[in-house]
Amino acid sequence: MTVLTVAGLTLREASRRKVLRALVVLTLALLGLSAWGFSRLSPQLDLTSGESRLVAAQVLNLVMFGLSLIAALGTAFLAGPTLSGEVESGMALAVLARPVRRAAVLAGKWLGLVAFGSAFVALAGVAEFVVVQLTLGYWPPDPVTGLLLLAAQTAVLLTLTLLLATVVSPMASGIVAVGLFGATWIAGVVGSVGDVIGNEGVARVGTVSRVLLPTDGLWQGAMYSFQDSSLLRLAGVQGTSPFFGTAPLSVAYLAWVVVWVLLIGGLAALSYQRRDV
């Protein structure tokens, strides 16, 4: 009950704050730019159909990475203010003095933000698919799984931001979360370089970072669903790559993501419960 009330409140907050407008503008800019870019791309390059599909899959991944970045930034910068910002301003006082459990308030905020992030990913993602279909004639093989994984990526980052927001200031929690998000992506790139040069130690950097913060792992899985698996053989990619998902996510990894979210969410609830407001 409390969870749903707070989730609704959080959704209303997200929809009424300026961050939504910023998100819409950024997304439209990205969609517009990609549409323009793709429409210029196809006639200029003289490619075989296989090559052009490869290019299409690659640019789709690139743009989707941009979208996931916007979703991550947007929710991270929503999650910080909605939790620690409310504590700092005193807005939390009146709410937490009600007969509510803090864990329920936190869960409600989490649910509201996940719903918001997922809706954004779904809308913007489908719009981008349509753009690629119209300009390059490419439709990803498994769009639903891919979007779900992107939504999960947003949820993962969101959970981390909420945990951070229970201990540090709103802005700091957003910045640290986005920083970590970037760091795991770079670690993923480093790991794929390790794969390419056959250095196991370097490759392990990516693997370990994907376990510590599953955003990059989920992103790899999402990319895999956006591209035709036959393209991989064409591109001759081996191991992981920053621009191609080379393997579907294992069930074990997805289970770990769930455990990770529960673990970090539980920690956040514990930390919020113990906090003086």
Q: Which residues bind other proteins (CB under 8 A)?
A: 1-2, 5, 9, 12-13, 16-17, 89-91, 93-101, 274, 276-277
11: buried, middle or exposed (CB in 10 Å: 19+, 13-18, 0-12)? middle
Rounded least distance, CB 114 to other proteins, Å:
20
Nearer to other proteins, 14 or 64 (CB): 14
**For the packed helices 49-80 and 18-44, what is the interaxial angle rounded to 10 degrees?**
170
Rounded least distance, CB 84 to other proteins, Å:
14
Alpha-carbon span 117 to 16, nearest angstrom: 15
Nearer to other proteins, 98 or 233 (CB): 98
Alpha-carbon span 87 to 109, nearest angstrom: 14
Nearer to other proteins, 22 or 127 (CB): 22
Nearer to other proteins, 105 or 151 (CB): 105
Cα atoms in the Cβ-side hemisphere of radius 13 Å centred on 240 = 29
Alpha-carbon span 185 to 21, nearest angstrom: 27
Nearer to other proteins, 35 or 87 (CB): 87
Buried-exposed string 173-196: b where 16+ CB fall within 10 A, e elsewhere: bbbbbbebbeebbebbbbbbbbbe
Nearer to other proteins, 1 or 251 (CB): 1
Rounded least distance, CB 96 to other proteins, Å:
6
Question: Which residue is it, tokens 């200029």?
Answer: 44
Amino acid present at 124:
A
Measured over all CA atoms, what is the biggest interatomic distance in the chain, rounded to whole angstroms?
67
Q: Is 193 helix (H, G, I), strand (E, B) or coil?
A: helix
Rounded least distance, CB 9 to other proteins, Å:
6
Rounded least distance, CB 219 to other proteins, Å:
32
Nearer to other proteins, 89 or 250 (CB): 89
Alpha-carbon span 178 to 181, nearest angstrom: 5
Rounded least distance, CB 83 to other proteins, Å:
14
Rounded least distance, CB 27 to other proteins, Å:
21
| Rounded (10°) CA dihedral 168, 277, 111, 126 | -40
